[in-house]
Structure 1
């Protein structure tokens, strides 16, 4: 018997559509459901919906979206149409068929359609006036992504910094950051390596984002969207093994208790070596969540995470010391060579977090959201590393050492009120919110003294054997010209923000918002002069954007935004802290671009930007940092993500970037020096082709131009092109496997740097095999 049209569209699917304008919700639903949906925009004028979340059949889902709208859904063959509800008196009603038809498919592998992060409202990506890249769950699985550094490999305009071998550090449009990390829109700024075992997708938002994220959100931010319990049962386990003794296991189990409650548990264990001599890593994490929906208008999510990471702190190799004005490069040694001592270089962290999310949709059309996150971090790292470059005349190079202990308690609470309304023919989506937060950080640094000599903070070793076994005593130095951190800082933040997304015409939209941050720092330096400084910054971060859509799938946009980064926490550990150094950095972005949904499952984006940064902290060598007046970065970014055909998926892009500093840094760099870690050209593309429904293959190409390791512009990392590959096999309904090959042709390259003397070699060819079981 032939399958009926109804059967073809009746399977239950999971939906996540926020409250807002009914027209926008129906467009998103058509894309998520992969159906043809027709309606007359005039019928929807001024109408709102309470949204949709959970598992529904198509007809059931549309009925929910149309609740209290005076509209109904009718079936037209294999498609659907929205029409008015017939008159109650039974009079015959003439129905005019809609003039607009929305069609979509449901096989998006790499192309996301909307985000709730960039505007705090569920908005189509093409209606957000800034460059955004979404690393989807499918892409995370296909590339076997385990870290943020892995996640941004194919994101134009974002690079990877070394982070001194103990923390995530990314470069957004020429601006290095170790703190612009968020989880579900809440700050997560401690310095450690994050894993993606409990992450649904990763969103990279580029440009100044102060209005949405408050402090930080400077050159860009990374937001991780966590997996949460829902009514789609899941039981997935993965087992991975590979080169350099890598072993990894993950579990993702979700269970539906009843119509009101569901639970989910994600867990990770990994034990891995490295191509680097003496370097290894072990991590363990567990993240349970509970979701409760007492009514169809109320949702409560509770989650927690316990995470531990223990690894060798690896700061790579050093460079050759050149004459003044001479540009040199990394030393010519094997890429496995460790500099310093791996046995006494280690980093470990314990993270414990508790979070909640509460949402209620009122009959009046208002939506109230509240999110709370409490996190405590306990971190220690110690490194014995190359503190200078190789003297080619003597064949010697300096080795230094220090350790650092940091504890931090974060608590943030964010409340948003959303409402959609019309003022005449103009539609508004309003957002008003308040955020309060407190961070208390304790930091202690100790310098390594070789052979217990107060004056011996460095030793010299030959390049032929750059590993030292000399005894080292670690001491917090107090007084004189030497001062190690022994600090306590308390940061209190109170933020108010308001935003309006305005649809003046169907073709013309405006987004305008402003945020006020009251940022108070109580900083106590417990050694040396024992300074106790208190500062307060009153910061205003505006955002304004215009979107013009000549046709529905195509938008042109322009935007202006600002962000501020007050000094707090880790930024104060390497500075001689004064009122001057406590002044915030300021970021201003001008951006224009085009977004084109070539098809519902294929998105193209191009952006041109200018990013100005003032009162900048720049890292040069060792633990030294310097203030500069500012820098400017300009660039062009192009990206493509989605389905070229039904069995061919692609994700990648190109970036052209130039940047320079605006003033001299005495003894370090001159005005006009090139911004560090900023390659002029980068190109990357990942392409997967499914040969049959059970077998697929993928290739990835990454090219990075040469770049300077620091503002001195004395050490250049050469350009490289690296090729990755993967094979996929669906053995049965429950089991699938994949093999990922990194650096297929064993290219020798340098992946990242922290300064002129800490440079990370890229991995040689590495193979990882995974078996994934679903029950």
Structure 2
């Protein structure tokens, strides 16, 4: 045995010496050393025939444990009209849960929608702010296809997500909610009481190297179980400060959203909810388009980055929004397969704004013409949604049926104003040194008024028929007037 060990050790030592010498050889020496390589290989092979008793004990490595938390997939759709899971629905539907946009620090609908492809954001026109509510789905304008808890939310304003459980995005033509654009629609699902107690709060503070005011935002989400089946949930928001990267502009808001639920975990459930949101902004309409590449009449001598800190509006501009909403929902399970629900929702949004916009640029004098405009609109919606969902079998076919009736009344009252060019001095302002305190906001007098009322009555039947585990058909009919 000792002789074998000695031979093996000499072979291993010889192999190490040959390998070291081969590392020092250049390419030409290596080509003439085939016999040496063969010898080294034979030694290596020979060294493998070592008795098992001589094998080294395996090293015991420390145990490593890796734990992770699965990100919520967000595949549950809130609408009772859905008769199949999104994966089995012939339509692209994305669900963005609050866990996702809260981790990202998203504050409004626009920031939340950046989580899904197929959406484009545009600059505002005709009083439609600066892109906070202007977006398109698959190339079509969708700013008028926004729903809250399945009810159309009319009006163009900044929608905060402090009281939103999840955001659902349906892409492509869809008639399940009535009229809408061919690009799809967006539905915001508000928070309602849960069975478990919890309290969550956030506090954020932001600043930047520009001259914008520091930003502070605080939110609170508390759920309290009062007794068996009864729970109270309170959401609150407070925000104050400027707009990141922009001087003078401000974004201030506060909101409160209490809700009460009865019968949680029982066949009959009732939810009552209220939300109030108050926004007081100093609107920002950006920099002149002449500084942006690939725009009409772009001036290559202008650098957009150098104009980033310039504010071309007036310090007296404002954009005020007051929004209120009341919801009452009742659900009853006749059996595990049959559920009847009825929801009533009323909402009202008032928006008043006066804003000054950089209009046209004169390269010869390096001045900008500004225009002061005004916006005033009140939108209200009252809707009653009744739905019956049933799952049953006819012969060998499995059905998931949704039958419902909708009654909706929408009203919109608006005032149209003229424009005031170059408020204050009446002369254009320098593009490099605009003064937000150059003038007080002019008195805007309405020149026209409009009032629109839309009353809708709709009935629908949707069904998913499952033939087997691989084949199913989804279809439906909606009648509306």
TM over 0.5: yes
Specify the alignment match of 1:113 in structure 2: 75
Whole-Å separation in 2 of the counterparts to 1:325 and 1:352? 39
The residue number in structure 2 matching 1:507 is: 470
Q: Which residue does the alignment assign to 1:179?
A: 144
- In 2, the alpha carbon distance for the partners of 1:204 and 1:329 equals 38
Partner of 1:349: 321
> Paired residue for 2:430, among 431, 445, 462?
462
Q: Which has the larger radius of gyration?
A: 2
Residues 556-604 of structure 1, C-alpha deviation per residue, up to 9 Å, x if partnerless? xxxxxxxxxxxxxxxxxxxxxxxxxxxxxxxxxxxxxxxxxxxxxxxxx
Report what 1:381 is aligned to.
353
Counterparts of 1:91-110 in structure 2 under 5 Å?
Answer: 107-110=69-72
**1:592-611 map, 5 Å:** none
- Counterparts of 1:440-589 in structure 2, within 5 Å, are 440-449=411-420, 460-467=428-435, 469-470=438-439, 473-476=442-445, 484-518=447-481
In the aligned structure 2, how far is the partner of 1:329 from the partner of 1:206?
38
Is 1:248–2:209 an aligned residue pair? no
1:410 aligns with 2:381: yes
How does 1:554-703 map onto structure 2 within 5 Å? none
SS class of match (2:90): coil
- Whole-angstrom distance in 2 between the partners of 1:321 and 1:249: 36
Whole-angstrom CA distance in 2 between matches of 1:166 and 1:445: 21
The separation in 1 between residues aligned to 2:115 and 2:229, in whole angstroms, is 40
Matches within 5 A, 1:290-305: 290-293=260-263, 296-305=266-275
Q: Is the 8 A contact 1:308 1:350 kept in 2?
A: yes
Once the two structures are superposed, what CA deviation does each residue of 1:285-305 show, in whole Å capped at 9, x if it has no partner? 110111111882111111000
> Which has more helix, going by share of residues?
2
| Aligned-residue offset at 1:114 | 2.9
User: Is this contact kept in 1: 2:248–2:311, CA < 8 A?
Assistant: no
Q: Give the alignment partner of residue 159 of structure 1, picking from 106, 120, 125.
A: 120
Residue 87 (structure 2) aligns with:
126
For the Cα contact (< 8 Å) 2:356–2:373, is it kept in 1?
yes
- State the distance in 1 between where 2:274 and 2:225 align: 19
CA shift, 1:216, in A, is 2.0
Instruction: Name the residue aligned to 2:187.
Output: 223
Structure-2 residue corresponding to 1:627 = none
Counterpart of 1:399 (choices 370, 377, 395) is 370
The corresponding residue for 2:230 is 261
Q: Is the 8 A contact 2:290 2:296 kept in 1?
A: no
- 1:278 shift after superposition: 0.5
Check whether the contact 2:258–2:273 (CA below 8 A) recurs between aligned residues: yes
Question: Is the 8 Å Cα contact of residues 170 and 177 (structure 1) preserved in structure 2?
Answer: yes
Deviation at 1:443, TM superposition (A): 0.8
Task: Indicate yes or no: 2:169 matched with 1:192.
Answer: no
| Aligned equivalents of 1:452, 1:171: Cα separation in 2 | 33
Q: CA deviation at 1:354?
A: 0.5
Query: How far 1:338 sits from its partner (Å)?
Result: 4.0
CA distance in 1, matches of 2:132, 2:279: 11
Q: Distance in 1 between matches of 2:457 and 2:310?
A: 45
CA apart distance, 1:514: 2.1
Higher strand share: 1
Structure 1 partner of 2:258:
288
Cα distance between partner residues in 1 of 2:235 and 2:373: 36
Aligned to 1:438: 409
* Equivalent runs, 1:14-29 vs 2, <5 Å: none
From 125, 133, 141, the counterpart of 1:168: 133
Q: What is the CA distance between 1:167 and its match in structure 2?
A: 4.6
Q: Secondary structure at the match of 2:144?
A: coil
Q: Is the 8 A contact 1:402 1:474 kept in 2?
A: no
Q: CA deviation at 1:336?
A: 3.1
Give the deviation of 1:176 after TM superposition.
2.5
TM-superposition CA deviations, 1:59-118 (whole Å, max 9, x none): xxxxxxxxxxxxxxxxxxxxxxxxxxxxxxxxxxxxxxxxxxxxxx9953142233233x
Aligned equivalents of 1:174, 1:329: Cα separation in 2: 28
Q: CA deviation at 1:242?
A: 1.7
Q: Measure the CA separation in 2 of the matches of 1:471 and 1:113.
A: 51
Matching of residues 45-56 of structure 1 within 5 Å:
none
Q: Is the 8 A contact 1:350 1:377 kept in 2?
A: yes
Cα distance in 1 for residues equivalent to 2:387 and 2:68: 31
Report the Cα offset of residue 339 of structure 1.
4.8
Matched with 2:168 is 203
Alignment counterpart, residue 333 of structure 2, candidates 361, 366, 373:
361
3-state SS of 1:141 partner: helix
TM-superposed deviation, 1:166? 7.5
Secondary structure at the aligned position of 1:273 is classed as: strand
Q: How many residues align?
A: 401
| CA distance in 2: counterparts of 1:502 and 1:169, whole angstroms | 38
Work out the CA distance in 1 between the residues paired with 2:185 and 2:355: 28
Post-superposition shift, 1:348?
0.9
Change (3 A) 1:154 1:408: closer
Match of 1:276 in 2: 246
Task: Give the CA RMSD over aligned residues.
Answer: 2.8
Distance in 2, matches of 1:185 and 1:336, equals: 39
1:403, distance to aligned residue in structure 2 (A): 0.7
- Write the distance in 1 (CA, Å) between the matches of 2:288 and 2:373: 17
What CA distance in whole angstroms lies between the structure 1 residues aligned with 2:319 and 2:388?
Answer: 41
- Secondary structure of 2:218 counterpart: strand
Report the CA distance shift for 1:141/1:450 in structure 2 as closer, same or farther (over 3 A).
closer
Question: In 2 relative to 1, CA 497–338 (structure 1 residues): closer, same or farther, beyond 3 Å?
Answer: farther
CA deviations 1:178-212 (Å, max 9, x no partner) are 22211121111221111111111111111122x21
1:325 and 1:317 mapped to 2: Cα distance? 13
TM-score, normalised to structure 1, is 0.49
| Alignment check: 8 A CA contact 2:313 2:356 kept | yes
Higher RCO (C-alpha under 8 Å, 6+ residues apart): 1
Distance 1:136 1:374 in 2: 24
What secondary structure sits across from 1:438 in the alignment? strand
Indicate conservation of the 8 Å contact 2:423/2:441, yes or no.
yes
